[in-house]
């Protein structure tokens, strides 16, 4: 219940008290002049409004009683008194007891039916006093309903949030206890097999080493995912993990990638931009970044010392991506002709993909991974002989700017 003082009481109450005094003084009862008793009743119908914002029931009770006595005793009621009755009834229904608002308005319909002399006044109050009380009750009910709806929404949101946190915690436990355990076992067993198997050929040892590297990389990515899943469930228990956004084609990110490749290989690596760079869909930018990263790694491992050009061509509705090296180029077919579209990733001199697999007709997982990334975002990728020699990775990706 609202018990705070409201300055509107001065704006409403003071004019009504003043108007009631003026009206009652003008009410003449014979040659003796103004009837002082009527003046007192007129003040009694308005002055209790000062208690309306702190004691609505007491104020409404005094106002109603004074109004009834004024009508029955003097067959008159000031306009200010009628207004005070309506204000008090509304306020009591709005902030006080709804069960008291209507009973305090009930005498006026009874007086109207009883046929008192002040028929006009009683008829007006018989209609308006209950209506004012009902309006206050309706306003209170509307406010209570809105508050209840807001409270239910808060409870529902809180329940949903706690459910989501619990589900994320469950997924994190499953990933940590089951999946991560098995992946770590893959890494350990691959390393043990490489070190303990006698007479293992170099190619087999290299493949086992690549399996171990891939498993460890998967564990690193899983730890990052676990950090995201546990971010909410461990709030306040441990420091938040540092989260970095997925890489894209921002100039500094591509330059950093090329700098890493340049430092690792000690050879020239250039970035060529054509067209006006725009911000693309994050998925497209991530796919392009990973294709460049994989192509640079492929060139560094299988064409050591070769210079590499990375070209990004923004062509409106498409992004054309080229990664060229001036190394030995793709392997020849059995007939001695170069394989122009090397879907199997074949390279000369036993060229292997970035996972250490031979990339002849056995199939290179690194090149296949690049092709899968391009296809996943609605693009395509080709690998093969570069004009002038060397190896070329060419990708065409959707180039619509992000909304």
C-alpha to C-alpha distance for 138 and 193, rounded to whole angstroms: 80
| Domains defined along the chain, listed by start | 8-150 (no CATH), 251-398 (3.30.565.10)
CB atoms within 10 A of CB 22: 12
Which pLDDT score is estimated for 340? 39
For position 1, what pLDDT does the model report?
42
Cβ atoms of residues 72 and 114 within 8 Å = no
Alpha helices in 175-326 (DSSP H): 180-196, 202-233, 251-265, 282-302
pTM: 0.40
Q: Residue 391 — φ and ψ, nearest 5°?
A: -115, 145
Q: What is the pLDDT of residue 234?
A: 52
3-state secondary structure of 322: strand
Number of Cα atoms under 13 Å in the Cβ half of residue 294: 30
What was the pLDDT predicted at 319?
92
Closest CA to 172 of 230, 243, 231: 230
Q: Which pLDDT belongs to residue 380?
A: 93
Inter-residue long-range contacts of 386-389, CB under 8 Å, 24+ positions, other chains counted: 386/324, 386/325, 386/326, 386/329, 388/326, 389/326, 389/329
pLDDT digits (tens), the chain, 403 positions = 444 455 656 566 667 666 666 766 666 555 555 567 777 877 777 777 777 777 888 888 888 888 888 788 777 777 777 888 888 888 888 887 777 888 888 888 888 887 777 777 788 888 888 888 888 888 888 888 888 888 888 898 888 888 888 887 778 777 776 777 778 778 888 888 888 888 888 888 888 888 888 888 887 777 777 777 766 555 545 555 455 567 888 888 999 889 888 887 778 899 999 988 888 888 889 889 989 988 988 888 888 888 999 999 998 889 999 999 988 877 543 333 333 344 334 443 334 443 333 343 333 457 888 888 888 888 999 998 888 888 999 999 998 766 5
How far apart (Å, rounded) are the C-alpha atoms in residues 236 and 352? 48
pLDDT given for residue 310 in this prediction: 94
pLDDT at 230: 67
pLDDT of residue 34: 53
Say if residues 370 and 395 touch (Cβ distance below 8 Å).
yes
| Cβ count near 356 (within 10 Å) | 20
């Amino acid at each position: 219940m609202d018990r705070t003082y409201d300055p509107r009481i001065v704006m409403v109450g003071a004019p009504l008290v003043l108007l009631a005094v003026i009206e009652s003084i003008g009410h003449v009862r014979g040659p003796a002049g103004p009837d002082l008793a009527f003046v007192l009743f007129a003040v009694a119908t308005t002055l209790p409004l000062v208690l309306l914002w702190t004691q609505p029931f007491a104020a409404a009770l005094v106002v109603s009683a004074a109004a009834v006595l004024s009508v029955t005793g003097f067959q008159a009621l000031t306009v200010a008194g009628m207004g005070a009755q309506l204000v008090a009834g509304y306020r009591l229904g709005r902030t006080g007891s709804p069960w008291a608002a209507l009973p305090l308005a009930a005498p006026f319909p009874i007086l109207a039916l009883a046929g008192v002399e002040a028929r006009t006044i009683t008829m007006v109050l018989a209609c308006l006093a209950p209506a004012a009380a009902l309006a206050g009750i309706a306003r209170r009910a509307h406010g209570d309903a809105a508050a209840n709806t807001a409270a239910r929404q808060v409870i529902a949101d809180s329940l949903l949030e706690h459910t989501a946190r619990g589900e994320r915690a469950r997924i994190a436990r499953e990933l940590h206890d089951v999946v991560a355990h098995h992946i770590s076992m893959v890494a350990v067993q691959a390393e043990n097999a490489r070190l303990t198997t006698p007479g293992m050929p170099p190619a087999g040892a290299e493949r086992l080493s690549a399996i171990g590297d891939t498993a460890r990389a998967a564990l690193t990515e899983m730890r990052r995912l676990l950090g995201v899943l546990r971010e909410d469930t461990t709030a306040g228990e441990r420091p938040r993990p540092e989260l970095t956004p997925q890489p894209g084609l921002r100039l500094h990110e591509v330059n950093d990638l090329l700098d890493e490749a340049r430092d690792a290989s000690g050879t020239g690596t250039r970035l060529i931009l054509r067209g006006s760079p725009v911000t693309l869909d994050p998925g497209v930018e991530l796919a392009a970044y990973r294709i460049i990263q994989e192509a640079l790694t492929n060139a560094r491992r299988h064409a050591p010392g070769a210079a590499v050009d990375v070209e990004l061509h923004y062509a409106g509705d498409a992004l054309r991506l080229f990664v060229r090296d001036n190394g030995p180029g793709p392997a020849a077919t059995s007939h001695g002709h170069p394989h122009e579209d090397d879907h199997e990733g074949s390279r000369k001199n036993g060229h292997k993909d970035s996972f250490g697999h031979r990339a002849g007709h056995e199939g290179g997982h690194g090149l296949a991974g690049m092709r899968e990334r391009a296809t996943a975002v609605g693009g395509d990728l080709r690998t093969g002989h570069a004009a002038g020699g060397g190896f070329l990775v060419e990708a065409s990706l959707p180039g619509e700017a992000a909304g």
